[in-house]
Amino acid sequence: MQHAEITGWGKCLPPAVLSNADLATFIDTSDEWITSRTGIKERRICHCNFSDMAIVAAQRALAAADLDPLELDLILLGSLTNDSLCPNTASIVQDAIGARNAASIDINSACTGFLYGLHIGTNLIRAGAHKKVLVIGGEFISHYMDWSRRDVAVLFGDACGAVVIEASDDEVGLLAAKIGCEADAKYAIQITNLGSAYSRLSDDFLYTGWNFDGQEVFKRAVKSMSQACTDVLDQVGLSVDDVHLVVPHQANKRILDSLAKRVGIPQEKVFVNVHKYGNTSAGTIPVALAEAVDEGRVNPGDYILSATFGAGLTWGAGIIRWGNRVKPLRISDAELPPCDKTALEILEPHIRRYKEHAKTSV
Ligand code: ACO
């Protein structure tokens, strides 16, 4: 049987940093509250389009694999914050990177978009339908943020990551996955006022708001991710002791600690970067994976456990066996367009517009 080896990895973080202290200048919050409840210290704010981040992450992953983009036969892009409804963002990426032989599909399962994509891409390679697949996950979530909601606004950030997977005879790549959805709680995370369920005649249309039941999501996240972890370990006949590194969805440090405790994995085996980037939704796992490899946390043949959850409420876990190579074959010089603003300067007109709209809609 063919497997789907991860041969390239890349990430793209926009340069503008929004600190907890920056947030406290316009919402009623504090560094102490955010740090103690979430572990987050800062996050990035995108100054360009989502597709710009996706293109840079893709080019870096392709360079790491030293793969000609014309050889790609599929692009799977997990995101809920695409450039536009039409065309899809995977098509925009396909054109920009010159991958004209690749079918291009967007996947919207929120934070689980990358793992869902990796699962789908891996199984298409296993089935023989595709050979070289680019899997992207990322988010421009600040674009949809309701900056008056302190319980939501402090949690998220913008980023994108990507991997290249290629058919291989070696038993490497995503060996097993379990994905699912608890749709009875679908409105525990909801972005409102955008989409065909909302009247375009309403004054609120496009003023995206959030319904967010953080505690419900927290409880379900820990339960579903830990069950999915146990399931994938059982599928491949491994125990937690065989796992070298856990690369989970980065939503909240307390969720990561609870997950590690419940699955029985020591915290030092859990890769954490939520303090630097916050929750970048579909971006967290590919960004964390790329950082873990680049920081020397992954060795040839390692077993990596990944777990995720997000709006839907979708969830999943996967067990990845890393291949022989932990160094990129090439380094891309792809960069985002320059940014001459601070994060607060980027956000200021949006915060002002929301405040003005709130006054007129009372
Ligand atoms: N600053 C200060 N106080 C705050 C803030 C803030 N930023 N946010 C909330 N509070 C207040 C609340 O108003 C509340 O005050 P009250 O007791 O006077 O009513 C108090 O803090 C406690 O609020 P809780 O909601 O009980 O805080 P909790 O400890 O549950 O933490 C949190 C909230 C961080 C949101 C947590 O529940 C969480 O992380 N949940 C998971 C959410 C998540 O990451 N989802 C990811 C999926 S999103 C996707 O897929 C797109």
3-state secondary structure (DSSP) of residue 15: coil
Q: From the alpha carbon of 312, which atom of ligand 1 is closest?
A: 50
Ligand 1 mean position, distance from CA 226 (Å): 21
pLDDT for res 359? 80
Domains and CATH numbers, the chain: 3-361 (3.40.47.10)
pLDDT recorded at residue 317: 98
Cα(253)–Cα(256) distance, rounded to whole angstroms?
A: 5
- Report CA(308)–ligand 1 centroid distance (Å): 19
Q: Which of 12, 46, 111, 181 is catalytic?
A: 111
CA angle 344, 310, 97 (to 5 degrees): 70
The residues of the chain scoring below 70 in pLDDT are 362
d(CA 273, CA 292): 10
Residue nearest to atom 44 of ligand 1 (CA): 251
Q: Give the Å distance between the CA of 38 and the centre of ligand 1.
A: 8
**pLDDT recorded at residue 200:** 94
pLDDT reported for residue 362: 60
Report pLDDT for 358: 79
What distance in angstroms lies between residue 151's CA and the mean position of ligand 1's atoms? 5
CA 164 → CA 117, 132, 146, 320, distances in Å?
A: 12, 7, 34, 14
**Contact indicator for 11, 34 with CB cutoff of 8 Å:** no
CB 322 within 8 A of CB 172: yes
Is the bond into 15 cis (omega within 30 degrees of 0)?
no
263-294 pLDDT, tens digit each? 999 999 999 999 999 999 999 999 999 999 99
Tell me whether strands 189-192 and 314-321 are parallel, antiparallel or unpaired: unpaired
C-alpha span between 321 and 348 (Å, rounded): 44
Report the separation in Å between the CA atom of 30 and the middle of ligand 1, taken as the mean of its atom positions.
13
Ligand 1 center–CA 6 separation, angstroms: 36
Residue 249: active-site member:
yes
For ligand 1, atom 2, name the residue with the nearest CA: 29
Q: Which pLDDT does position 361 carry in this prediction?
A: 72
Q: Chain centroid to CA 264: how far? A: 24
Q: Is 273 annotated in the active site?
A: no
> Ligand 1: which atom is nearest the Cα of residue 217?
41
CA of 218 relative to ligand 1 center, distance in Å: 9
Q: What are phi and psi of 8, to 5 degrees?
A: -145, 150
Q: Which residues line ligand 1 (CB under 6 A)?
A: 29, 33-34, 37-38, 110-111, 150-151, 154-155, 189, 214-215, 217-218, 251-252, 279, 281, 310-311
Degrees to nearest 5, angle at CA 46 with 328 and 19 = 100
The upper half-sphere exposure of residue 107, i.e. CA atoms within 13 Å in the direction of its Cβ, equals 26
For atom 36 of ligand 1, the residue with the nearest CA is 214
The protein residue whose alpha carbon is closest to atom 8 in ligand 1 is 151
**Taken in order 30, 210, 309, 284, is the CA torsion positive or negative?**
negative
Q: How many CA atoms lie within 13 A of 65 on its CB side?
A: 28
The whole-angstrom separation of Cα 55 and Cα 58 is: 5
SS3 of 237-279: CCCHHHCCEECCCCCCHHHHHHHHHHHCCCHHHECCCHHHHCE
Whether 357 is a known active-site residue: answer no
Strand ranges of the sheet holding 245-246, from the earlier edge strand across to the other edge: 103-107, 74-78, 132-139, 159-168, 3-12, 173-181, 314-321, 303-310, 245-246
Rounded Cα distance between 48 and 314, Å, is 28
Helix crossing, 253-263 with 214-236: angle to 10°? 40
Mutation test of ligand 1: which of 36, 142, 151 has the most ligand atoms closer than 8 Å to its C-beta? 151
Give the model confidence (pLDDT) of 66-105 as tens digits: 999 999 999 999 999 999 999 999 999 999 999 999 999 9
Looking at ligand 1, which residue's alpha carbon is closest to its atom 1?
A: 29
Cβ contacts of 54 within 8 Å, gap of 6 or more: 12, 77, 79, 89, 92, 93, 136, 138, 160, 162
Strand partners, 132: 166
Nearest CA, atom 23, ligand 1: 151
Closest C-alpha among 45, 99, 53 to residue 78: 53
Q: How far apart are CA 105 and CA 91, in angstroms?
A: 7
